[in-house]
Structure 1
Amino acid sequence: MPDNTTASASPAPLTLLGLGSMGAAFARTWLAAGHPLTVWNRSPGRTAELAAAGARVAATAAEAVAASPLVVACLMDDASVREALADADLTGKDLVDLTTSTPGESRARATWAEGCGARFLDGGIMAVPPMVGVPQSGAYVFYSGSQEVFDSHRETLTVPTDARFVGGDPGAAALHDVALLSAMTAMFAGARHAFALVENAGIDRKEFGALLAGWLTAMAPHTALFGEDVPPEDATSPAVVAAGDAALLRTAREQGVDTALLIAAAGAVNGV
C-alpha cells in the first residue's frame, strides 16, 4: 500500500460528490496530497472544514462536475447518484462511483454514464473512515468497469487507499464488496449474539471481548478453505455437529437470547 500521507501521486484535479464520513475522509487525503479538489454535498454545512483546507466548494452538483475531468461520487445509494447527476453534463468526464450498490445497479449506472458521454468505473470501498489515508491500515477499494479509466487515474485513486481492479464487468466491484460485507455482517451479528449470551452472567465484558477477538482471529484463516475446488471434509461427524448445534440453541433459550440467528447460521454453515 502506498504512503498515503505524501503527494506521491501527481496532483491531478478532481471533483468529489458526497461528504459523509467516508467521502470526507477521502477528501482530506486528496487535499493533503496536493490535489486540486472541488467538493459538493447536499448539506452545505459539511463543506466548511474542507474549504478551510483548500477545497473549492461548488453550489450545485452540476457545477462541481463541470470543474474537473475526474468525478468521484460517494453518496448514500444509487438513487442519490441518479438525483445528484440529473442536471450535470457528463460529456467527456470520467465518472468513478464509490457508492455502495448492487451489481445490477452498477451495470445500469455504467450504461447510463456511457449514454451521457462519460467513461465509467465502479468502486467498492473495503474500509471504515479511520482507515482511509493511513499507511498499512489494510484499506483498499475494488474497482471494475473501464480499464482505461482505472489506468488513467490510478495514481489519484491510490492516494486514500490501495486499489484492486477486478475486471471489465461494471458489477464486479459491487459483487466483491457486498459479498465481503455480507460475511462481515454475519460475523458482527454473531459477536453481538455472543455478548448477549454472557450479558447477565457476571462475566467481564472487556475480558470476554478479548477472548472473542482472539477466537475469531484464529478461525478466520479457515474461511479461505471454502474457495478450494474440493473443500476438505469436516472431520467432525454429522451427529456431533447436530449435537453441537442443539447445545447452542438450548443455551440461547436458557439465557433468554433469540435463536433466529443460530437457526439461520446452522443451515448456512452446513450447506442447507
Structure 2
Amino acid sequence: MTAQPTPVTVLGLGPMGQALAGAFLAAGHPTTVWNRSPGKAEAVVARGARLADSAAAAIAASPLVIVCVIDYAAVRAIIEPAVDALRGRTLVNLTSDEPEQVRDLAAWASGFDYLDGSIMTPTITIGEPSARVLYSGPEDTFDRHRDALASIGGTATYLGADPGRAAAYDMALLDVFWTSMSGLVHAFALARAEGVKARDLAPHAQDVMSLLPVFTGQLAGEVDDGEHPGEQSSLRSAAAGMAHILRASRRHGLDTSVLAAALDIARSAIPDHGDEGFSRLAEVIAR
C-alpha cells in the first residue's frame, strides 16, 4: 500500500501560481485552484485542476494550501476573510516580500500552521530538478509536508524556525539579481551609444560576469572576518574606474543615477579606507 498524494490548493494563478499548480498536478496531487480573475484558471483546469468559486471554498478543499501572489497585502486580502476555513490546515506562503511582513503575518496566524517560502528560480524550473526553494518556520510543519512540497522540484532548503529567514535570504539574493540586471541593461545602453550592438557585447559581458562567483566567496569571507585587503584592487582604484564609466555615460546623455549612487558610497569611504578592498563598503552601507 502506498500513501495517496496529499490534496493541495493553490491560491493565485499568475505565471508562478500556474506553474506550481501544474507541478502538483503532474505529481498526482488532487489540486484545487482559485484566482481573483477566474479566466487565468483555464489552462490548469484543462489539466485536471478543480476551480473553486471562492478562496474559502478552495482552502476548505485541501489540508495543504499554497498562496503565491504579488505581495503580502494581496495575501492578507485573500486569507483574512477566509481565516475560518484555514483552521487545522497548513498555509505555505510562497509570496515574495520583506522579512518583517512575513513575521507580522506569522504572528497573526492562529489556528493553523504557517510556513514561509521563497522561490529562487524562474517559472520554467518549477517541477524540474533545477528549481530552488527556501523555507522557514516550524520545522515539524516543514517535515510533515516535505514530500508534497517536493513536487515543486529541485532543492528545498530549510533555514530555521524564524519565519522571516527565507524572506531575508530572498531580499538579499534579489538585491544581487536586480542590481546586476540594472548594470547589464545600462552596459547595453552605453555600448549602443558607442555603436556596439548588445549581441556583440554579450559574450564579453558573460566573461566579465563569470568573475562574480569567484568574488562572491572572497568578499563574503572578508565581510564576515572584518578584513578588507586592498593590495590587488583598492577602493580608490575602483572609484576611479566607476568615474570613467560615469563620464562616458554622461557624454552620451545616459541616465547615470544608479552608478552615481554607487560611486558616492565608494567615495565616502576613501578618506578613511581608500587603500582597503571593495568589501569594506558592506560596513559603510550599514552605517
TM-based fold match above 0.5: yes
- Match in the other structure for 1:240: 237
Task: Identify if the C-alpha distance between structure 1 residues 215 and 248 changes in structure 2 by more than 3 Å, giving closer, same or farther.
Answer: same
187 and 108 in structure 1: CA distance in 2 versus 1, 3 angstrom threshold? same
TM-score (norm 1): 0.90
Whether 1:25 aligns to 2:35 is no
Residue of structure 1 aligned with 2:151, choices 159, 163, 178: 159
Counterparts of 1:91-240 in structure 2 under 5 Å?
91-113=87-109, 115=110, 117-135=111-129, 137=130, 139-161=131-153, 162-228=155-221, 229-230=224-225, 231=227, 233-234=229-230, 235-240=232-237
Give the Cα separation in 2 of the matches to 1:243 and 1:121: 46
Q: CA deviation at 1:237?
A: 4.0
**Bigger mean CA deviation after superposition, 249-258 or 168-177:** 249-258
Q: Which amino acid aligns with 1:43?
A: S
For residues 246 and 38 of structure 1, do their structure 2 counterparts lie closer, same or farther at Cα, with a shift above 3 Å needed? same
Change (3 A) 1:254 1:154: same
1:77 matched to 2:74? The reply is no
In 2, the alpha carbon distance for the partners of 1:143 and 1:131 equals 17
SS of residue in 1 equivalent to 2:152: coil
Deviation readout 1:144-171 (Å, 9 max, x if unpaired): 0111111011111121232111110011
More helix by share: 2
**Corresponding letter in the other structure for 1:106:** V
Unaligned runs of 5+ in 1: 1-7
Q: Are residues 1:41 and 2:38 paired? A: no
Aligned match of 2:275: none
CA contact (8 A) 1:96 1:123 kept: yes
Distance 2:242 2:211 in 1: 20
Find the aligned partners of 2:66 and 2:198 in 1 and give their Cα distance.
41
1:263 aligns with 2:256: no
- Distance in 1 (alpha carbons) for counterparts of 2:259 and 2:99: 29
How much identity, in percent, do the aligned residues show?
43
Quote how far apart the aligned CAs of 1:186 are.
0.5
Count of equivalent residues: 261
Does the Cα contact within 8 Å between 2:116 and 2:164 map onto a contact in 1? yes
**SS of match in other structure, 1:159:** helix
Point out where structure 2 has 5 or more consecutive residues left out of the alignment: 267-277
Kindly state the Cα deviation for residue 34 of structure 1 after the two structures are TM-superposed. Answer: 0.6
Partner Cα separation in structure 1 for residue 3 and residue 164 of structure 2? 27
C-alpha deviation, 1:219, in angstroms: 2.5
Distance 1:237 1:111, change over 3 A: closer
8 Å contact from structure 2 (residues 8, 24) kept in 1: no
Q: 1:238 to 1:106 in 2, by over 3 A?
A: closer
CA distance in 1, matches of 2:146, 2:4: 10
* Aligned-partner residue type, residue 114 of structure 2: F
Moved more, 25-34 or 84-93: 84-93
User: Do the aligned partners of 2:6 and 2:63 also contact (CA within 8 Å) in 1?
Assistant: no
TM-aligned CA deviation for residue 134 of structure 1: 2.3
Give the Cα–Cα distance (whole angstroms) in 1 for the partners of residues 79 and 237 of structure 2: 56
Tell me if the contact between 1:225 and 1:232 (Cα under 8 Å) persists in the aligned partners.
no
The question of whether the paired residues in 2 share the 8 Å contact of 1:9 and 1:159 is answered with no
Q: Distance in 1 between matches of 2:79 and 2:239?
A: 53
- In the alignment, the residues of structure 2 paired with residue 205 and residue 10 of structure 1 have an alpha-carbon distance, to the nearest angstrom, of 51
| Aligned counterpart for 1:67 among listed residues 61, 65, 73 | 61
